Amino acid sequence: MITPKAHIAATAPYALPEVNVAADKPLVMLAFNESARPPSPLAVKAGYEALASAQLYSDTEWTDLREAIAQIYRIAASQVLCGAGSMELISCLTQCYVGPGDRVLSSQYGYAFFRSAAHAAGADYDQAPERDLSVSVDALLASVRDSTRIVFLANPGNPTGTRIRQDELVRLRDGLDDDILLVIDEAYGEFADGLDESSFDLVSRGNTVVLRTFSKAYGLAGLRVGWGLFPPSIADEIRKLLNPGNIGVVSQNAATAATLDQPYMRATCAETVDRRDRFAGQMRELGLRVPESFTNFVLIRFPNADAAGRADQVLRAEGIMLRNMVGYNLPDCLRATIGSESDMEIVTEHLSDWRRREGVQC
């Protein structure tokens, strides 16, 4: 009998939603927070060019990519590590710093992959309550236990879309013991107007990591590239866990070009944010609640779980897939990625019709 390690056997697979929408309608996929626009044309060109020399291994140092990131984000290239998506970096962080008997802490609606990564490393996972779908620094600090080794915070949050301010982030770091690692996951950092890169300053304390990704604002989800700013001593350890050549040549080249084409990324964010705020307004006009979002998605709160379930069915019958939030214990919510203009018009149209049919019942 081949036996896995006990904590692996006990870990649930990372749950992705089932795509069951009407097959006879064009698919409108708004469940994965993918970009509303394809990647920069310069990134596409760079990817093609790299493919022509793909007989060679990719650069294990991510030299060009790191230099581009360092230049644009005004940080030291030596402190940047790149992962096959930021998920790989999250997994390496838990593998490196926690094991059986240790605890990982996040917030009530923390990104579900934090739990998977904690469990895969054999650690226990705790969640601090949120207030009005926003992270509470007080609740996080009150939830720290003796065996807590890592605190993960997605800021802005997924699936809530909300964020905490920089001074709150500093208060969190100040309130944690120095030997607790704080990981700030800024997958949506580029969308969060005014959040900018000031959280990077916390990295110099030696116990804080900030993660970013090319999957959202840069529109490269399918190429699997993420990166993080690490204190040097943590970077040294994480490097040991990353596969050499973890990011292929096409992905490295395309991500480098995407980084250098800041105007394209900024335009994607501006267009997405504008469409998001109009869509959120339309949802509120239908009497649905939408917390203020700082990302490329919105969380739509229905009057109750049954209403959310019926709305989900109506949309699926039209080929539209939003993200069901039952797994986050938010059964009265659906999360909608901001897609193209026509995607959002179709969603608004069907939800308006549905709302009218539901009448006072909703």
Ligand X SMILES: *Cc1c(COP(=O)(O)O)cnc(C)c1O
Chain positions contacting ligand X, by CB under 6 A:
33, 85-87, 111, 154, 158, 185, 187, 213, 215-216, 221, 226
Q: Whole-number minimum distance, CB 187 to ligand X, in Å? A: 4
Q: Which residues, in sequence order, are CB contacts of 199 under 8 Å at separation 6+?
A: 155, 166, 169, 184, 186, 189, 210
Q: Which of 44, 33, 105, 50 is nearest to 261 (CA)?
A: 44
Distance CA 152, CA 127 (A): 10
Nearer to ligand X, 221 or 314 (CB): 221
Phi then psi for residue 187, to 5 deg, are: -55, -30
**Residue with CB nearest ligand X?**
85
Least distance from C-beta 102 to ligand X, angstroms? 21
Residue with smaller CB distance to ligand X, 229 or 362: 229
Q: Which CB sits closer to ligand X, 297 or 354?
A: 297
The nearer residue to ligand X, 121 or 154, going by C-beta atoms, is: 154
* Cβ 32 to ligand X shortest distance, Å: 8
CA gap 57, 248 in Å, rounded? 8
Q: Are strands 323-324 and 333-337 parallel, antiparallel or unpaired?
A: antiparallel
Looking at beta carbons only, is 104 or 346 nearer to ligand X? 104
Query: Residue 6 Cβ, how far from ligand X at the closest point, in Å?
Result: 27
The answer to whether the beta carbons of residues 19 and 321 sit under 8 Å apart is: yes
The rounded distance, in Å, linking the Cα atoms of 106 and 127 is 5
In angstroms, give the least distance from the CB of 157 to ligand X: 7
Cβ 86 to ligand X, closest distance in Å?
4
Q: Which is nearer to ligand X, 88 or 318 (CB)?
A: 88
Yes or no: say if 23 and 285 are a contact pair by the CB < 8 Å rule.
Answer: no
